[in-house]
Amino acid sequence: MFGIEFVPNEPALKVGYMAKLAEDAGFDTIWITDHYNNRDVYSTLAILALATSRVRLGTGVTNPYTRNVAVTASSIASINEISGGRAILGIGPGDKATFDAMGIAWEKPLSAVRDSVAALRELLAKKRVEGHGMAGAQLAFSAGKIPIYIGAQGPKMLEMAGMIADGVLVNASHPDDFKYAVPLVRQGAEKAGRDPKEVEISAYTSFSADKNPDKAANEAKIVVAFIVAGSPETVLSRHGIEAEEAAAVSRAIAKGDFGSALAAVTSTMIDVFSVSGTPVECRARVDELLATGVTQIVVGSPIGPNKERSIKLIGKEIL
């Protein structure tokens, strides 16, 4: 199963055009990121619902802080109705930097995600919800069947996703991260008395494919820089990346000195935090990821030096 992520940092109609390209190239799912400073995720998904006819359409990922969960239920149910039943809700704890900027206290993210998924299950079943922070909220229209996926990286979030979600979206591009994550998700499913096969495990990668491997790697650099800057110590040491090397990238980004940040990104960092290179090289990494128990590959930003060309190239030579 192959998905693709679009960040709505360009007009929704343009994202709609790319979505149609991706559908024609053979992708199965399309994920739209949710950050307050980009276009609204649901407006963008509505455009995609009209621009496509087969692909499934997901929030990749929303969070329980910037929208009340009853509003999230109404929004994803509306997308499900507009798209003829193709919506997927992806929800994660969100990221601290974003919430600091918005003046939102990032409290108890694990519990917040758990409670919001429980409330969503009931709201999307058109039930009157008492509890999980709700006091009688109820949708006035039928949502239809909407899978709920969790965006997770930490051990507890991964296990919880296995316990309660239909799928998990793990922001990682290297097999070692999935040798760590997959058993935790399966453990969660078993703890909840579920068949682990019920939980779709998606590698939500940073992907950059081009016939020219240097161009592909170059395009991945800026995304890798932000991933390095946001990676916990445990992830860096899993891959033998020195804290000082990562700090050099973080410091440069914090100063807005992107030239130095890019210069501080090593080829190891690109290899660890992205799937990048020629189609043959990318396909080799995809096969490594699938061998760890991953069941869906999501092609995440930057996709390639020229998005349109890379979408077609990936469709032709990798899917």
Is 104 an interacting residue with respect to ligand F42 (CB under 6 A)?
A: no
Is 167 an interacting residue with respect to ligand F42 (CB under 6 A)?
A: no
Nearer to ligand F42 among residue 239 and residue 309 (C-beta): 239
Residues within window 81-100 making contact with ligand F42, judged by CB under 6 A: 92-95, 98
List the structure tokens of 280: 């043959």
Is 34 an interacting residue with respect to ligand F42 (CB under 6 A)?
A: yes
Backbone angles phi, psi at 30, to 5 degrees: -130, 135
Residues within window 192-231 making contact with ligand F42, judged by CB under 6 A: 204
Q: Of 30, 88, 96, nearest to 66 (Cα)?
A: 96
Is 170 an interacting residue with respect to ligand F42 (CB under 6 A)?
A: yes
Is 111 an interacting residue with respect to ligand F42 (CB under 6 A)?
A: yes
Of the candidates 8, 16, 58, 109, which one interacts with ligand F42 according to CB under 6 A?
109
Cα–Cα distance measured from residue 296 to residue 289, given in angstroms and rounded to the nearest whole number: 9
User: Which residues neighbour 78 within 8 Å (Cβ) at sequence distance 6 or greater?
Assistant: 42, 46
Is 35 an interacting residue with respect to ligand F42 (CB under 6 A)?
A: yes
Nearer to ligand F42 among residue 139 and residue 224 (C-beta): 224
Backbone angles phi, psi at 139, to 5 degrees: -75, 150
Of the candidates 8, 60, 167, 175, which one interacts with ligand F42 according to CB under 6 A?
60
Q: Kindly report the length of the chain.
A: 319
Q: How far is the CB of 109 from ligand F42 (least distance, A)?
A: 4
Is 171 an interacting residue with respect to ligand F42 (CB under 6 A)?
A: yes
Which residues sit at the interface with ligand F42, rule CB under 6 A?
A: 33-35, 60-61, 63, 92-95, 98, 108-111, 151-157, 169-171, 204
